[in-house]
Chain A
Amino acid sequence: GENVEQHPSTLSVQEGDSAVIKCTYSDSASNYFPWYKQELGKGPQLIIDIRSNVGEKKDQRIAVTLNKTAKHFSLHITETQPEDSAVYFCAALAWGGTSYGKLTFGQGTILTVHP
């Protein structure tokens, strides 16, 4: 089955700096890769996603890159702000075989942005 590894587990940056979170996946059949932000005591919310026919996608200060050959994808946050502090999760969706439709998450990254 799919296995998603996420690094780092914690990330501390100064306000205005960039933050990068990386994920690798194991199932070459996966083709949808969302990123979620979770604030304390709440459910995760989608912040950006990418499909396997696209190498990069950007939405204001957030961007995601995908390397299907190497089976890894990354989240980039530029000009970080204190309100970006949260737990971030990557995920991969299986698109074939017995795991069709299964959405597997990474372990999460606790991002802290210091004012």
Chain B
Amino acid sequence: DGGITQSPKYLFRKEGQNVTLSCEQNLNHDAMYWYRQDPGQGLRLIYYSQIVNDFQKGDIAEGYSVSREKKESFPLTVTSAQKNPTAFYLCASSPGVGTEAFFGQGTRLTVV
């Protein structure tokens, strides 16, 4: 069953703790993306990766970190430096630049 999987669906963390969100795809896609979604603000790009071992900052990278050690995995760490981490996080992948991006079902992170 091919697709892009984000886990967990819901995540709760205490303020000041780092947390890592998982994103795995078995579509053999080269490109992967992380977006943050807040009400009324659409999808904002955090980080993206065109190929293994390479990634670029998006528009709101501060307080986040990523790695791309394997083609199928693109984990996102929300660090304690992120001022307002509570949000809905979406991961996407695409075969390459200029092709359809497929989204996971998202992780809703709540920091208390």
| Count of chain A residues near B, Cβ 8 A | 27
Cβ-based interface call for B75 (8 A): no
Select B42's contact among A45, A102, A108, beta carbons within 8 Å.
A108
Task: Verify B42–A34 contact, CB threshold 8 A.
Answer: no
Select B97's contact among A9, A34, A49, A95, beta carbons within 8 Å.
A95
What are the 3 tightest A-B residue pairs by CB atom distance, in nearest-first order? A43-B103, A107-B42, A105-B43
Closest beta carbon of chain A to B40's beta carbon, Å = 7
- Given A101-B48, A103-B48, A105-B43, verify A46-B35 contact (CB < 8 Å): no
Name the B residues within 8 Å of A89 (CB-CB). 42-43
Task: Verify A34–B101 contact, CB threshold 8 A.
Answer: yes
Select B100's contact among A9, A46, A101, beta carbons within 8 Å.
A46
Task: Verify B43–A44 contact, CB threshold 8 A.
Answer: yes
Cβ-based interface call for A78 (8 A): no
